[in-house]
Chain A
Amino acid sequence: MPADVQKLVRMANQIATFFDTQPGDTQAAEVAAHLKSFWEPRMLQALYAHVDAGGAGLSPLVLQAVGRLREPV
Chain B
Amino acid sequence: MKDFIIPGLDGAPAFSDRDYGTPERHSQKMVTLTIDGFEVSVPEGTSVMRASNTLGITIPKLCATDNMEAWGSCRLCAVEIEGRRGTPASCTTPVTPGMVVHTQTAKLQKLRKGVMELYISDHPLDCLTCAANGDCELQDMAGAVGLRDVRYEAPADGGFQNHFLRKDASGAPNPEWLPKDDSNPYFTYDPAKCIVCSRCVRACEEVQGTFALTIEGRGFDSRVSAGMAGDTFLSSDCVSCGACVQACPTATLQEKSVIELGTPDRKVVTTCAYCGVGCSFEAEMKGDTVVRMTPWKHGKANRGHSCVKGRFAWGYATHKDRILDPMIRESINDPWEVVTWDEAITFAATKLRGIQAKYGVRAIGGITSSRCTNEETFLVQKMIRSVFGNNNTDTCARVCHSPTGYGLGRAFGTSAGTQDFDSVEHTDVVIVIGANPTDGHPVFASRLKKRLRQGAKLIVIDPRRIDLVRSAHIEASHHLPLRPGTNVAVVTALAHVIVTEGLYNEAFIRERCDWDEFLHYAEFVSQGRHSPEAIALLTGVDPQELRAAARLFARGGNGAIYYGLGVTEHSQGSTTVMGIANLAMLTGNIGRPGVGVNPLRGQNNVQGSCDMGSFPHELPGYRHVSQDTTREIFEKLWGAVLDKEPGLRIPNMLDAAVEGTFKGLYVQGEDILQSDPDTKHVSAGLAAMECVIVQDLFLNETANYAHVFLPGSTFLEKDGTFTNAERRINRVRRVMMPKNGYADWEVTMLLANAMGAGWTYTHPSQVMDEIAATTPTFAGVSYEFLEEKGSVQWPCNELHPEGTPIMHVDGFVRGKGRFIVTEYVATEERTGPRFPLLLTTGRILSQYNVGAQTRRTDNVAWHAEDRLEIHPHDAEVRGIKEGDWVRLASRAGETSLRALITDRVSPGVVYTTFHHPDTQANVITTDFSDWATNCPEYKVTAVQVALTNGPSDWQVDYGRQADLSRRILPAAE
Bound-complex Cα distance A28 to B341 (A): 52
On chain B, the residues within 8 Å of A23 by CB distance are 517, 520, 821
Mark each residue of chain A from 4 to 22: 1 if its CB lies under 8 Å from any CB of chain B, else 0: 1001001100110110011
Please tell me if the beta carbons of B931 and A15 are within 8 angstroms of each other in the complex: yes
Please tell me if the beta carbons of B828 and A40 are within 8 angstroms of each other in the complex: no
Bound-complex Cα distance A43 to B659 (A): 11
On chain B, the residues within 8 Å of A4 by CB distance are 655, 658-659
Please tell me if the beta carbons of A14 and B931 are within 8 angstroms of each other in the complex: yes
- In chain A, what residue has the closest Cβ to B823? A21
- In chain B, what residue has the closest Cβ to A22? B821
On chain B, the residues within 8 Å of A39 by CB distance are 646
Please tell me if the beta carbons of B616 and A40 are within 8 angstroms of each other in the complex: yes
Q: Which A14-52 residues have a C-beta within 8 angstroms of B?
A: 14-15, 17-18, 21-23, 34, 36-43
Please tell me if the beta carbons of B932 and A40 are within 8 angstroms of each other in the complex: no
Please tell me if the beta carbons of B932 and A34 are within 8 angstroms of each other in the complex: yes
Does B820 reach chain A (CB closer than 8 Å)?
Answer: yes
Q: Quick one: which of B624, B661, B820 contacts A22, CB cutoff 8 A?
A: B820
Please tell me if the beta carbons of B648 and A10 are within 8 angstroms of each other in the complex: no
Please tell me if the beta carbons of A42 and B617 are within 8 angstroms of each other in the complex: no
Q: Quick one: which of A10, A37, A41 contacts B626, CB cutoff 8 A?
A: A37
**With A23-B520, A42-B661: A15-B821 Cβ-Cβ less than 8 Å:** no
Shortest C-beta distance, A72 to chain B (Å), equals 17
On chain B, the residues within 8 Å of A41 by CB distance are 362, 645
- In chain B, what residue has the closest Cβ to A18? B931
Does B647 reach chain A (CB closer than 8 Å)?
Answer: yes
Indicate the size class of the contact surface on chain B.
20 to 34
Please tell me if the beta carbons of A37 and B617 are within 8 angstroms of each other in the complex: yes
Shortest C-beta distance, A73 to chain B (Å), equals 13
On chain B, the residues within 8 Å of A40 by CB distance are 362, 391-392, 616, 645-649, 652
Bound-complex Cα distance A10 to B937 (A): 14
Please tell me if the beta carbons of B828 and A7 are within 8 angstroms of each other in the complex: no
- In chain A, what residue has the closest Cβ to B572? A18
Does B964 reach chain A (CB closer than 8 Å)?
Answer: no
Please tell me if the beta carbons of B617 and A38 are within 8 angstroms of each other in the complex: yes
Please tell me if the beta carbons of B645 and A11 are within 8 angstroms of each other in the complex: no
Dominant SS among interface residues on chain A: helix
Please tell me if the beta carbons of B575 and A18 are within 8 angstroms of each other in the complex: yes
Bound-complex Cα distance A7 to B652 (A): 10
Please tell me if the beta carbons of B362 and A37 are within 8 angstroms of each other in the complex: no
**With A4-B658, A10-B828, A22-B821: A38-B646 Cβ-Cβ less than 8 Å:** yes
Bound-complex Cα distance A34 to B820 (A): 16
Shortest C-beta distance, A33 to chain B (Å), equals 10
**With A37-B617, A38-B617, A38-B646: A43-B820 Cβ-Cβ less than 8 Å:** no
Mark each residue of chain A from 42 to 67: 1 if its CB lies under 8 Å from any CB of chain B, else 0: 11000000000000000000000000
- In chain A, what residue has the closest Cβ to B929? A11
- In chain A, what residue has the closest Cβ to B931? A14
Please tell me if the beta carbons of B934 and A11 are within 8 angstroms of each other in the complex: yes
Bound-complex Cα distance A41 to B571 (A): 23
Bound-complex Cα distance A17 to B649 (A): 21
Bound-complex Cα distance A71 to B162 (A): 91
Bound-complex Cα distance A61 to B659 (A): 27
Does B334 reach chain A (CB closer than 8 Å)?
Answer: no
**With A37-B617, A40-B616: A17-B820 Cβ-Cβ less than 8 Å:** no
The CB with the most chain A CB atoms within 10 A, among B575, B645, B931, is that of B931
Bound-complex Cα distance A17 to B575 (A): 11
Does B259 reach chain A (CB closer than 8 Å)?
Answer: no
- In chain B, what residue has the closest Cβ to A17? B825
Shortest C-beta distance, B628 to chain A (Å), equals 15
Please tell me if the beta carbons of B825 and A43 are within 8 angstroms of each other in the complex: no
Bound-complex Cα distance A38 to B652 (A): 11
Shortest C-beta distance, B938 to chain A (Å), equals 17
On chain B, the residues within 8 Å of A7 by CB distance are 655, 927
Q: Quick one: which of A18, A21, A37 contacts B624, CB cutoff 8 A?
A: A37
Bound-complex Cα distance A11 to B626 (A): 22
Q: Which B653-676 residues have a C-beta within 8 angstroms of A?
A: 655-656, 658-659, 661
Mark each residue of chain B from 801 to 828: 1 if its CB lies under 8 Å from any CB of chain A, else 0: 0000000000000000000110101001
Bound-complex Cα distance A7 to B929 (A): 10
Shortest C-beta distance, A53 to chain B (Å), equals 16
On chain B, the residues within 8 Å of A14 by CB distance are 571, 931
On chain A, the residues within 8 Å of B648 by CB distance are 40, 42-43
Q: Which B611-635 residues have a C-beta within 8 angstroms of A?
A: 616-617, 624, 626
**With A7-B655, A37-B626, A37-B646: A42-B362 Cβ-Cβ less than 8 Å:** yes
On chain B, the residues within 8 Å of A34 by CB distance are 932
Bound-complex Cα distance A11 to B575 (A): 15
Bound-complex Cα distance A17 to B572 (A): 11
On chain A, the residues within 8 Å of B933 by CB distance are 38
Q: Quick one: which of A10, A17, A21 contacts B821, CB cutoff 8 A?
A: A21
**With A37-B624, A38-B617, A40-B652: A18-B520 Cβ-Cβ less than 8 Å:** no
On chain A, the residues within 8 Å of B520 by CB distance are 23
Bound-complex Cα distance A10 to B828 (A): 10
Shortest C-beta distance, A34 to chain B (Å), equals 7
On chain B, the residues within 8 Å of A37 by CB distance are 617, 624, 626, 646
Bound-complex Cα distance A36 to B646 (A): 8
Please tell me if the beta carbons of B656 and A42 are within 8 angstroms of each other in the complex: yes
Bound-complex Cα distance A1 to B791 (A): 53
- In chain B, what residue has the closest Cβ to A41? B645
Shortest C-beta distance, A69 to chain B (Å), equals 12
Please tell me if the beta carbons of A18 and B828 are within 8 angstroms of each other in the complex: no
On chain A, the residues within 8 Å of B574 by CB distance are 18
Mark each residue of chain B from 635 to 647: 1 if its CB lies under 8 Å from any CB of chain A, else 0: 0000000000111
Shortest C-beta distance, B680 to chain A (Å), equals 12
On chain B, the residues within 8 Å of A36 by CB distance are 626
Shortest C-beta distance, B713 to chain A (Å), equals 32
Bound-complex Cα distance A41 to B931 (A): 18
Q: Which B537-592 residues have a C-beta within 8 angstroms of A?
A: 571, 574-575
Bound-complex Cα distance A7 to B705 (A): 24
Bound-complex Cα distance A39 to B645 (A): 8
Shortest C-beta distance, A8 to chain B (Å), equals 9
Bound-complex Cα distance A40 to B656 (A): 11
- In chain A, what residue has the closest Cβ to B392? A40
- In chain B, what residue has the closest Cβ to A42? B661
Bound-complex Cα distance A43 to B661 (A): 11
On chain B, the residues within 8 Å of A21 by CB distance are 821, 823
On chain B, the residues within 8 Å of A38 by CB distance are 617, 646, 649, 932-933
- In chain B, what residue has the closest Cβ to A10? B828
Bound-complex Cα distance A12 to B646 (A): 16
On chain B, the residues within 8 Å of A17 by CB distance are 825, 931
Shortest C-beta distance, B192 to chain A (Å), equals 64
- In chain A, what residue has the closest Cβ to B391? A40
- In chain A, what residue has the closest Cβ to B822? A21
- In chain B, what residue has the closest Cβ to A19? B931
On chain B, the residues within 8 Å of A22 by CB distance are 820-821
- In chain A, what residue has the closest Cβ to B624? A37
29 chain-A/chain-B pairs, Cβ below 8 angstroms:
A4-B655, A4-B658, A7-B927, A11-B934, A15-B932, A17-B931, A18-B575, A18-B825, A18-B932, A21-B821, A21-B823, A23-B517, A23-B821, A37-B617, A37-B624, A37-B626, A37-B646, A38-B646, A38-B649, A38-B932, A38-B933, A40-B362, A40-B392, A40-B645, A40-B648, A40-B649, A42-B362, A42-B656, A42-B661
Q: Which 8 residue pairs across A and B have the least CB separation, nearest first?
A: A14-B931, A21-B823, A40-B648, A23-B520, A41-B645, A18-B931, A21-B821, A15-B931
Beyond A37-B617, A39-B646, 14 additional contacts (C-beta under 8 Å) are A4-B658, A11-B929, A11-B931, A17-B825, A18-B825, A18-B932, A21-B823, A22-B821, A23-B821, A37-B626, A40-B652, A41-B362, A42-B362, A43-B652
Interface residues of chain B, those whose CB is within 8 Å of chain A, are 362, 391-392, 517, 520, 571, 574-575, 616-617, 624, 626, 645-649, 652, 655-656, 658-659, 661, 820-821, 823, 825, 828, 927, 929, 931-934
Interface residues of chain A, those whose CB is within 8 Å of chain B, are 4, 7, 10-11, 14-15, 17-18, 21-23, 34, 36-43
